[in-house]
Structure 1
Amino acid sequence: MTVTSAWLSPDGQSRADTRTTQIGALTPVTDIKGRSGVLPGSEGGVYRVTGLWLAGTTGTMSGTVGVGRAVVQSSIARGAYPVAVTAPVPLTFTDGDAQYGRIDLVVLRIYDDEYDGSGRSEAAVEIVRGTPAAVPVAPPVPDVSLLLFTVTVAAHTSTGGGGIPWTTASTDLRPTTVPLGGILPTRSDDTAAGGYPGHYRDITDTLQRWSGSAWVPYPKGLGGIAPAGALTTGGYTGQYRDSSAGQLQRWNGTAWQPAVPGPVFAQSLDAGSTTSTTYTAALSGTAITAVTLNFTAPPSGSVIISLGARVYTVSSETTTAHMSPQVTLGSTVVWAADDERAASGSGAVNKSVSTQLRLNSLTAGATYTVTAMHRSTSSTVTCWFEHTVSARLLWGDRLRPLSPVVQTPAGLATAAPPGPRPTETRCNG
């Protein structure tokens, strides 16, 4: 007999008791039940699993299931059936229907007369024939059976008609199982849950750990970074990966974002003017509506805002042109434009002016907007501005680039490289 199962022959052994207490090749799925599957392994360690492989004979309706070992889990009362196939098992598929195709199953099936009244007490490799249909579906898997392959049998298929095209007709569905505590090698489409937190599996060349609710790539256990191509979706908020473009990314719970966001630029040298004595974002003589810059507040809640302009006051040495930042969170004004926070200059010759300010107590993770506001100290003097706005985020005691740093349409936004925390100095006069 080439297909054998331990503790199944009715020779006086306590068969059910022995099966329910065996702790061999069983990947746990509950506290008392194991995972049905083929034991992995191959000659020379080349393949994940070669046991119970289905090899078809070209041009025929025949195939052979090779040798291998498996475990078929039944109910709690019946336990798990260890099986060994010690010699290849030949199979012959029925010719195709005259009108429709069908899907057959190849299964490893347990017959146990003590429970199923089948009159048989043995394991068998066999074909479960599907029903021909315009859109065929696979038949149900028999009770206490391990599904190994599906085989599509097209209409009119026969040995005389070319036989089954084995390279495309058969689908490998063999699950695997390993001893308790072992790493489970699985197919890429395996969606089965883990048996316990700390259960490991190898899937698509990635080592994963069962967290209790999901399979999480193993770098979490090390606090490491998932390599490029290993992850599509993060396993937990705060996980890091190396993107295919070589960028370090962080999973925020719904999407991958740059871990250290870099600058995004947009530039225009289109200067504008105003005679308004109250602060305004809009300027005349330019196509730019307003100069704005968005940033996401870092965990420290602090940001350095820098702004500057090349300014001049038409035909006046005494009028002052002020440019000040206005910071908003949605419709809420956090910082209103103010002369005390302005970059200011005067004179009929172009000159560059700038200032740097530190804004604290921001809500970490919230998106703020900096708008360049402008005014003249005289309603009869035109002040011209050609400006730059930038922001740098403070992450603890270090500076990091803005997230994102935007070079606005009417001015250039830049970000400084990481460096020590600046001291704040104000010069009056």
Structure 2
Amino acid sequence: MTLHSSWVALTGQTRENTRLTQIGATTPANPLQARSGILPGSYDGQYRVSGFWLEGTSAMAATLHEGRAVIQGLSNQGVYPVTLDATVVLTFADGDALSNRIDLVVLRIYDGSYDTSGKYEAAVEIVRGTPAATPVAPAAPPLSLPLYKVAVPAGTSAGKGGINWATAMTDLRVPTVAVGGILPTLGEIAPGAYPGQYQDSNGSLQRWDGSAWVPYPAALGGIAPKGTLTTASYVGQYRDTPQRVLQRWNGTAWLPAVPGPLFAENLDSGSTTSVTYTRTLEETAVPQVQVTFTAPVSGAVLLTYGARMAPVGNAGAAAFTTVRVTQGGTEIWAPDDERAVIAAGDPGTSASTTTRLANLTADLPYSVTLMHRVSIPGVKTWFDNLFLRVEPLL
């Protein structure tokens, strides 16, 4: 096994060392330092990262496969590229007699110019953990890149079953790519280094916006798929919903991107004897008809409404249905006869109308309510087949 490194050894760096380790993989962590990690890639393209893959091959030994990585030192040290060009077998010490332990497999740089090792080389090492009733992994040594945690049960040895490699290993490898590349993360969550950085997180492309990873294509003005976006990053962002409704973020709330038309109706007839406009009808399961809507950017909507109206037993009486429009506690349109549909005499008559409501404030909620009255006091008037439609004008 030859573990190549560059710019570590005081003498003896070969041209081969330099060629193998000039890998150009430096995902920024800050202006001076890079993200330590392993270069992604696999022989058949099926895996995000196959470099430095650890494979259990005997009772107490595992094979570490070839790969390339970078290890960041202190800000004044720079980044150390390393390459393992062939597999290496790692042998784990037998388990403690009484307690379990966790070992750590690391790539490590020794640089005698910055540490007290007196060595100038790269190494693959097993850092043995401390046996305990509830063991924890040991701390990674300085200037090292953790690869795997390996659980070593108490009493384990080559003659006593060995390590269960199917369950003993925890993959700690993190990838890194050249600046500007899309980082294929393996589940770890780390902040980005600059707005506009991209990562592929478990199959979801994300962009760092300066404070959070935002799902793509939402970050670029595209439509975020349903279920991927709760908090918007900017006014005008779009998302799909599980109800298949396209929504737009207005700065404070998600609203339908193409609002309406909205529709309400009452097919259960009700009556009134009021000569002043009232929203409430008697003798019906639906005492009022109302639609609440969000004003479009144009500030205008079409209102269409109507009913079948019948003043009972009085040919001279007239029935009126009109609308009242409010915004919160403010009345925008009071009910009046100018906008009413009218039916006179008995039997009843159906009537409807369409009118334009304008000068609304975009994105504010408004309510439209059907209002009813009769022209002659005491004449019971029936209202049936009531409907109200609100259609935004774009």
Q: What TM-score do the two structures reach when normalised by structure 1?
A: 0.80
Choose the corresponding residue for 2:312, options 311, 314, 317: 314
Per-residue deviation at 1:229? 6.8
Match of 1:84 in 2: 83
Match of 2:335 in 1: 337
Q: Name the SS for the 2:114 alignment partner.
A: helix
CA contact (8 A) 2:263 2:390 kept: no
| Deviation sequence 1:146-176 (CA, Å, 0-9, x none) | 1212233445555445433333332222111
Match of 1:374 in 2: 372
Per-residue deviation at 1:199? 2.8
Choose the corresponding residue for 2:352, options 354, 360, 372: 354
Residue correspondence of structure 1 range 250-329 to structure 2 within 5 A = 250-251=248-249, 258-261=256-259, 268-329=266-327
CA contact (8 A) 1:317 1:347 kept: yes
Unpaired runs of at least 5, structure 1: 396-429
Residue correspondence of structure 1 range 34-183 to structure 2 within 5 A = 34-57=34-57, 60-97=59-96, 101-155=100-154, 157-183=156-182
Match of 1:225 in 2: 223
Per-residue deviation at 1:263? 6.1
CA contact (8 A) 2:261 2:392 kept: no
Amino acid at match of 2:332: V
Match of 1:401 in 2: none
Match of 1:193 in 2: 191
Identity of aligned residues (%): 56
CA contact (8 A) 1:2 1:86 kept: yes
Per-residue deviation at 1:275? 0.5
Amino acid at match of 1:311: M
Q: What CA RMSD, in Å, does the superposition of the two structures yield over aligned residues?
A: 3.0
CA contact (8 A) 1:152 1:170 kept: yes
CA contact (8 A) 2:293 2:366 kept: yes
Per-residue deviation at 1:51? 0.8
Match of 1:4 in 2: 4
Q: How far apart, CA to CA, are the structure 2 residues paired with 1:153 and 1:268?
A: 72
Amino acid at match of 1:294: T
Per-residue deviation at 1:6? 0.7
**Cα 1:268–1:151, aligned 2, differ >3 Å: closer, same or farther?**
farther
Q: How far apart, CA to CA, are the structure 2 residues paired with 1:388 and 1:185?
A: 55
**Cα 1:297–1:262, aligned 2, differ >3 Å: closer, same or farther?**
closer
Match of 1:413 in 2: none
**Cα 1:57–1:357, aligned 2, differ >3 Å: closer, same or farther?**
same
Per-residue deviation at 1:342? 1.6
Q: How far apart, CA to CA, are the structure 2 residues paired with 1:290 and 1:257?
A: 26
Q: How far apart, CA to CA, are the structure 1 residues paired with 2:113 and 2:177?
A: 28
CA contact (8 A) 1:279 1:374 kept: yes
Q: How far apart, CA to CA, are the structure 2 residues paired with 1:102 and 1:334?
A: 74
Per-residue deviation at 1:279? 1.4
Per-residue deviation at 1:280? 1.3
CA contact (8 A) 1:23 1:180 kept: no
Match of 1:384 in 2: 382
Per-residue deviation at 1:233? 5.6
Per-residue deviation at 1:209? 3.3
CA contact (8 A) 1:206 1:230 kept: no
Q: How far apart, CA to CA, are the structure 2 residues paired with 1:40 and 1:125?
A: 19
Amino acid at match of 1:172: D
Match of 1:33 in 2: 33
Matched positions, count: 386
Per-residue deviation at 1:98? 5.5
Q: How far apart, CA to CA, are the structure 1 residues paired with 2:132 and 2:329?
A: 62
Unpaired runs of at least 5, structure 2: none
Q: Name the SS for the 1:167 alignment partner.
A: helix
Match of 1:411 in 2: none
Per-residue deviation at 1:81? 0.9
CA contact (8 A) 1:97 1:132 kept: yes
CA contact (8 A) 1:215 1:235 kept: no
**Cα 1:136–1:228, aligned 2, differ >3 Å: closer, same or farther?**
same
| Deviation sequence 1:44-86 (CA, Å, 0-9, x none) | 433222111111236x232121111110001121111111112
Q: What TM-score do the two structures reach when normalised by structure 2?
A: 0.86
Per-residue deviation at 1:385? 0.8
**Cα 1:78–1:222, aligned 2, differ >3 Å: closer, same or farther?**
closer
Q: How far apart, CA to CA, are the structure 2 residues paired with 1:98 and 1:261?
A: 70
Q: Name the SS for the 1:340 alignment partner.
A: helix
Per-residue deviation at 1:120? 2.6
42-51 or 243-252: which moved more?
243-252
Q: How far apart, CA to CA, are the structure 2 residues paired with 1:255 and 1:158?
A: 61
Q: How far apart, CA to CA, are the structure 2 residues paired with 1:174 and 1:191?
A: 13
